[in-house]
Structures are given as C-alpha cells and as structure tokens.
Amino acid sequence: MNRYVFGTKLTVGKLLVHATLALLVFLWTVPTLGLFVSSLRDKDQLIISGWWNALVSSEQTAAGRLLARDAEELDGRFVIRGDLIDDDRRRIVSYGTTQTNLAAHAPGDEIDLEGTRFTLEEDGTFQAVSDTPFPDDFRERIFYVEAIPPTFTLENYREVLTSEGIGRAFINTFTVTIPATVIPILIAAFAAYAFAWMKFPGRQLLFAVVVGLLVVPLQMSLIPLLRMYNDIGAAFGVPSKTYLGIWLAHTGFGLPLAVYLLRNYIGGLPRDIIESAQLDGASHFDVFLRLVMPLSVPALASFAIFQFLWVWNDLLVALVFLGKGEDQIVLTSKLRELLGSRGDNWEILTSSAFVSILVPLMVFFALQRYFVRGLLAGSVKGG
C-alpha cells in the first residue's frame, strides 16, 4: 500500500524508515529537553520531583519548632508567633504533630498542644496561645506539607559562569582542543593519500594494522603511553604534564579513525583527475595539495567534528597528561571540581552540561552541511 505526502510517493518500507528516524529523534530529544528544563529549575524542586513535573506544583515535607523563649505576653496571655515559610509563593497543604499524621489538620484548624491553642495558616504564619506561661522546657515540633509552585531560575548558570577560574578553563580547553584536532587531520590526510594513490610494498597490510588500532581500548593504553612519553621526555629533557603530551595522545587515539575515513574518501575520487594531473607533470605533493585537499573538504569536516567533540568533552586523558594548575585545568575537570568532593553541588550538573556543549554545538552547526556527505562517502567508498 502506498501513501502520498506532499506529492511524494511513500512505500511501506519508506514509511518504516521515516517512523524509525522519528523514533530515534524522539529518543535523543527527550533526554536533552529534560536536561535543559532541569538546568532552569530551582534546587529544591530538583530534589523532590522530576523535570516532567516542572510545570505543576510539587509538595515537600518540612518541620518547624515552637520554643518557650520566643513567647511574649499580650493582654494577659502568652503567645508564640512566627512564620514557617520564607517564600510568599509557597502554601501550607496540611500539617500534624508527627511525621505519620501530616494530613491530620488543614490550614486554619486550631489544635491543642499540651493546653496550648495552636493555629497554622495557609501562608505559613502560626500562633500558639496559652493562658499560663510556657514552661522553660516547652518544645513542640510541627510537621507540615507545603506546595511549591513551578520555579525557574538562571541561578545554576550564574553559579557556573561566575565560578573562579572558569574563564581560564575555557581558554585551556581551546588550547588543548584546536591543536589536537588539526594535527591528526594533517597527518591522516597525508597518510590517507599514500594508502589510496601511492604504490609501495605492504600497503594493504599496513592499512589493515591502522584500521585494527580502532579497537584498542583507550583506558588500557593510557598508562603505558604516559610512561613511554615520560621516558622519552626525560631522555631529551622535555618536562611531563605539558600540552605537548596531551596533543600527541589525542593525535594517536584519533589517527586510526581519521586515516580510515579519509583513505576511503580520497580513494573514491575520480581516477581520471589524478592521472591527468600526473601526466601534466604534477608530483604527488602537488596532486595532494591542489586537488585532493580541496575535494576532500567534506571528509575533513566530518572528522573534524568527531575529533573536536571528543577532545572538548574529554576528562580522562586530560587528568592523565595534564596537571591541575590554573594554567592547565580544562573545562570538564573544572566543572567536576565545582561539584565538590562529595557531589554537594550536584544540581549544577545540568547547567554545566549546557555550558560545556555550547562550543561543540557551534562547531557542529558550522560544519554540519559537510557532515553527512563526508561521513557516508568515507564509509562506503573504497580505493
């Protein structure tokens, strides 16, 4: 059975494809939307309800205490007055004298507390009245349920963006990310051209080894790589924990994917163009620089997006190869410090996430027109 949508004929197979794509978009969009909504919510509401309840009032249990020292004498009676709520937008839903009977009384009800007449109003104000002086050891706890209206704030973002050293962390992250993106692209482009258009012994075997490096676990190779770098650095007088080390580490981990993508793309370029340039006397370097590089912009942009996103969001490699000084700490490490050693400020995780993805989003949207074209071509074409 066929369907026509805006004049386009859709078969059952195409409908299934579109439905699958719509489902994938939905599955990716909903968590992102939830993260964004959570980043704008008040800290107290984040604790007691999920982001899907952001537009409805939530309820929270709390307690207040009546103390004899707060009493004052008025017209021959002794009165304790106060306010349990410091936010005018909140309202008392119910209250009780124990945690198990929170719904025992409604706002405005008068109850007896050891001979004391107690009243709690909806706005949180209360009054305890006694005809005799309150005993010095008079202590009563009132448990209540308060309704919290939907509250949105930029406080989480303010806390992140105004934190000490956050600007320097942004600069440090750029210092790591830009060279760690450009260096592997340059090396991989030369290697990909050699694998695609230059004839030398063991070319296919060497390419297979490079592709095989894609499966090497990053976590397994970090420490051996660091030790090797430190040993070589010590031999040549190069200090450890420098930007050079992390540039080389990211280059090494990014090269296999880069060579694979670029080799398949460059190998799929029209052979006639390459051979015509060689017949005109162009060297391999001239062909690479004047023909291959301009024609490979989609593939280069595709890998640049991958590498930039991976390096920008990296924490593990930065912790291993860089120090924790203000001149080296990267954004992900700085945001982790803002959470506290025990995660006390966990509510800023959501706002931190959007602060950290701002730059990668700009890079993606700037290069996204090349992304699909370069990625597909580099994946299915071979030389």
Radius of gyration of the chain (CA): 32
Inform me whether the pLDDT recorded for 37 exceeds 60. yes
Note the pLDDT tens digit of each residue in 211-227: 888 888 888 888 888 88
Q: Provide the pLDDT for residue 9.
A: 56
For the chain, what percent of residues have pLDDT higher than 70? 92
pLDDT of residue 180: 95
Is residue 344's pLDDT more than 80?
Answer: no
Q: Which of 5-19, 253-267, 339-353 has the highest mean pLDDT?
A: 253-267
The reported pLDDT for the residue numbered 380 is 44
Token pair 């301009």 is found at: 294
Q: For residue range 104-138, what is the model confidence (pLDDT) as tens digits? A: 899 999 888 877 889 999 998 999 898 888 888 78
Element (H, E) at 266: helix 243-267
CB 107 within 8 A of CB 121: yes
**pLDDT digits 0-9 by tens, 256-287:** 999 998 998 888 888 888 888 888 888 889 99
| Residue 173, pLDDT score | 94
pLDDT band at 372 (very low <50, low <70, confident <90, very high): low
Judge whether residue 5 has pLDDT over 70: no
Mean per-residue pLDDT for 311-317? Answer: 91
Measured in whole angstroms, the distance separating CA 319 from the mean position of its chain's CA atoms is 18
Q: Is residue 187 packed enough to be buried (19+ CB in 10 Å), middle (13-18) or exposed (0-12)?
A: middle
Tell which residue, 253, 119, 237, has the closest CA to residue 180.
253
Residue identified by tokens 């640049």 is 304
CA distance 108 to 120: 6
pLDDT band for 342, please (50, 70, 90 cuts).
low
Helix 12-39 to helix 349-380 angle (10° resolution) is 150
The structural domains of the chain, with segments of one domain joined by +, span 3-53, 58-148, 157-380
For 383, the enclosing helix (H) or strand (E) is: none
Write the DSSP assignment of 183-216 as a string of letters.
HHHHHHHHHHHHHHH---TTHHHHHHHHHHGGGS
Cβ contact 277:210 at 8 Å: no
**Cβ contact 118:71 at 8 Å:** no
Residue 79's φ and ψ, nearest 5 degrees, are -130, 140
SS (H, E, C) 33-53: HHHHHHHCECHHHHHHCCHHH
Look at 357 and 367; give whichever has higher pLDDT: 357
What is the distance between the alpha carbons of residues 359 and 187, in angstroms, rounded to a whole number? Answer: 25
- Does 313 score more than 60 pLDDT? yes
Collapse the DSSP code of 12 into the 3-class scheme (helix H, G, I; strand E, B; otherwise coil) and give the result.
Answer: helix
Indicate whether this model's pTM tops 0.85: no
- Which band of pLDDT confidence, cut at 50, 70 and 90, is reported for residue 378? very low
pLDDT in tens, 173-202: 999 999 999 999 999 999 999 999 988 898
pLDDT for 323 beyond 50: yes
Q: Residue 343's pLDDT band (boundaries 50, 70, 90)?
A: low
**Do you know the residue count of the chain?**
383
CATH number of 157-380: 1.10.3720.10
